Structure 1
Amino acid sequence: MMHRFLQLLLAAALLAHASAGRSADVVVGQVTPLTGPEARQGMAYAAGLKLALEAANRGTHNPARHTFKLVAVDDRGAPEESLQQTSRLIAQSRPLVLTGHVGGPSLSALLKSGLLDRNELLMVGYRSAQILPSSQRLFAIKAGMPEELGKLMTHIHTVGWKRVVLLYENEGGAEGLLAAADAAAQQAQVTLVDRLEIDKGSLDAKVDRVLRAKPQALVVAAGGFVAGAFIERLRLAGAQTPIFTLSNADMEQLAVRLGDDHLRGLVISQVMPNPYKVTTAISKEFNDLARAHDVATPRSFTMMEGYVAGRVIVEAIQRQGTRPTREGMTAALESIHGLDLGGYMIGFSGASRAGSTYVDLSIVNAMGKVQQ
């Protein structure tokens, strides 16, 4: 009898040991526009995430051999639907982490709902045309809007222009954006002669105001759909004013709407490595994977952003060992300092949730090609 008891005890110990060393199945959740005006951004981000997670499943950057699964759900870009879909995804798929939300209103609604806090979930990587309230639940994997505005205003000053009009999309929290734009303009010694809120219903009126103001440069801080519609109207009205946009406008989405004639000369700030040229190790890795697995989604800066988000998530999971948890994600991310993903540095210091300060500029040349 005692011998049988010892056998059972040994079997239980071996089972516990095997369980302790077994890697986890990790669900990464994304609620994003997969249909509607901003669907290109949501789909590109999801494609980049999937590329990174599937590479990890094959053993790349994944020594603990976790199995990653992306669950992407369509919210059509509607904040109320985004919140409902996020709640449903959390209940049904039990993700370890969220990523890739698109749109300030959706993210603001999610933060206000308390859903992240109640479920001890983090959002690692997202896209917004506004500066969001500070939250310990949001980790950015790229430079923020103040850094982008600073880069654009400094370039405008370097060229010799002084009079600038800012056009911005008010997603329900424009105060931070306007303050950042004012600070960037002051630092660069340029003057904001006007600040105009734009949306789908006011484009013609704002085009008229820009024509009357006769600025030397325009800075457009808006999502791809609204930014593209405004630039199209402005160019059709005959204005040749130099235009600068932030990265959330999405170069590829603008290119689909505008074509070479209206894109020519456009300058856009970029916060990701170039997805088209092998200028860094991560660019090569990204392009090699996309080619090897015949990814249907066209390569883009947004797709690269999704890939970087996936790489950061995989790294944070690895740092937790074989049993990663939602609660352990914060400490794992905060332990990342000066991580080189292959020419793109990521680090979170102290209470900072901004993982990078990298900003570069792209310009569309006379041939309609992007130069960086």
Structure 2
Amino acid sequence: MALSSIAALAVPAAVSAQRRPPTRPGTSNPVLLQCVDTSTDQQEISRDYSSGVRLALQASATRLSDLRPFPMDGSEASLRSLLATLRSDPAVVGLVGTAGERLALRCAEAIRAEGLQIAHLGPWIADARFDDEPGVVKLFASREAQIRHALRSLETVGVRELGLVYATPALQQQVQADVQSAVRRIGVQPRDFVAPAGNVEQLVASLPANPPAIFLFVGGSIELARFVRGLAERKLQRYVITLGETDLTTLTELGATGTVPVVLTQVVPNPQTHTAPFAREYRAALKTLYEETPSPLSLAGFVVGRYTQALLAGAEASPITRASLYELARRRPGLELGGYSIGFDAASNRGSRYVTQVLLGRDGRLIG
């Protein structure tokens, strides 16, 4: 999606929060905050996911809430601004579609530490943290489910060890515990590699002559492209797995195709070709309102927006308050979304376990 989709959000979070007057109760629809990470390395994820959420709410025939963008950079100052807004504005009944994962985890952590009971609907979180948090409603497959799915397709390789590649030390610190736990539960031995100071080329150059046969790359699409190109230059023919945040168009534009085979998992079907009603509705709305190219992340955001709309429409009490929406979120109602099912059970705090994948082959062709 075009960067212009969130260009208006790219302002200092603390400043923008200070300029927003509190909403007067009873004067408008309930307000949902959409926290988006405007950090350079998170804009790709944030713009697509947040645009999908907005698309679903704008395309709805009935307006049940007002969506308020809340740009953040993940700093302590931006988190304090968020908490101040939640404390001072009772018209804000919940958060929806927080992205990317780094920000979503920090927001969930801050809200828990503050002791606030507020619905956090559809944050972009693959991590297992906050799976037991009543107000945090995760709609998509976990990181472990995505890794399991990808490794099943590579069983013939004989997976005993998985190289875990982190694009930055900060990212390693953020998700290492969850990634390693997921890999060990699958029965594979993790082996960590981290790009020093985010220098992916230096990492590739330092890889041993016989590294693991399969790498799981944790990082953005640009860093992944650099990693794949580096493997090709060293003639290291290895498989690379990457999870739901990767943008295939970016990989192609940066010349990361036709070299090393890359397995890309997604938590929604192909947004450009899937024929289910919800996917057709998404493409039609996208063409009408945004005129932008379909992407997996924006389709995932669209699912979040549709689920949120259904949740608000099913509320028994009127007007919707923070307490009533939190109670709805805690109950985790399911939804059949015209071909995409959301349903929770006692064994999982995930609305869907759907995972699909494509293999970007050595010849540049997409398989699956």
Answer yes or no: same fold by TM over 0.5: yes
Contact conserved, 2:268 with 2:354, CA < 8 A, in 1?
yes
* Partner residue, 1:323: 319
Do the aligned partners of residues 346 and 71 (structure 1) sit closer, same or farther apart at CA in structure 2, a change above 3 Å counting? same
Do the aligned partners of residues 348 and 331 (structure 1) sit closer, same or farther apart at CA in structure 2, a change above 3 Å counting? farther
* Partner residue, 1:290: 286
Q: Deviations over 1:242-264 (max 9, x none)?
A: 211111334444445445445x6
TM-fit CA distance, 1:341: 0.7
Contact conserved, 1:116 with 1:137, CA < 8 A, in 2?
no
Does residue 234 of structure 1 match 2:197? no
TM-score (norm 2): 0.79
Task: Give 1:17-28 correspondences, 5 Å limit.
Answer: 25-28=29-32
- Paired residues in the alignment total 336
* Consecutive unaligned residues in structure 1, runs of 5 or more: 1-21, 60-65
Q: Which segment drifts farther, 110-119 or 174-183?
A: 110-119
Look up the equivalent residue of 1:304 and give its one-letter code. Answer: L
Q: Deviations over 1:146-174 (max 9, x none)?
A: 10111112222145555532224414342
* Partner residue, 1:38: 42
Does residue 220 of structure 1 match 2:217? yes
Does residue 304 of structure 1 match 2:308? no
SS of structure 2 residue aligned to 1:279: coil
Task: Give 1:178-217 correspondences, 5 Å limit.
Answer: 178-184=180-186, 186=187, 191-192=188-189, 194-198=191-195, 200-217=197-214
Does residue 348 of structure 1 match 2:340? no
Task: Determine the C-alpha separation between the residues in 2 that align with 1:336 and 1:131.
Answer: 17
SS of structure 1 residue aligned to 2:278: helix
Task: Determine the C-alpha separation between the residues in 1 that align with 2:138 and 2:126.
Answer: 14
Contact conserved, 1:105 with 1:172, CA < 8 A, in 2?
yes
Look up the equivalent residue of 2:179 and give its one-letter code. Answer: L
Do the aligned partners of residues 260 and 82 (structure 1) sit closer, same or farther apart at CA in structure 2, a change above 3 Å counting? farther
Task: Determine the C-alpha separation between the residues in 2 that align with 1:136 and 1:335.
Answer: 8
RMSD: 3.1
Does residue 71 of structure 1 match 2:75? no
Look up the equivalent residue of 2:273 and give its one-letter code. Answer: K
* Partner residue, 1:8: none
Look up the equivalent residue of 1:148 and give its one-letter code. Answer: Q
Contact conserved, 2:34 with 2:68, CA < 8 A, in 1?
yes
Task: Determine the C-alpha separation between the residues in 2 that align with 1:85 and 1:199.
Answer: 32
Do the aligned partners of residues 221 and 35 (structure 1) sit closer, same or farther apart at CA in structure 2, a change above 3 Å counting? closer
Task: Give 1:1-372 correspondences, 5 Å limit.
Answer: 25-34=29-38, 36-56=40-60, 58-59=61-62, 66-76=63-73, 78-87=74-83, 89-90=85-86, 91=88, 94-114=91-111, 118-128=115-125, 130-134=127-131, 135-158=133-156, 160=158, 162-168=160-166, 169-184=171-186, 186=187, 191-192=188-189, 194-198=191-195, 200-261=197-258, 265-293=261-289, 295-321=290-316, 322-336=318-332, 338-350=334-346, 352-365=348-361, 368=364, 370-372=366-368
Contact conserved, 1:228 with 1:257, CA < 8 A, in 2?
yes
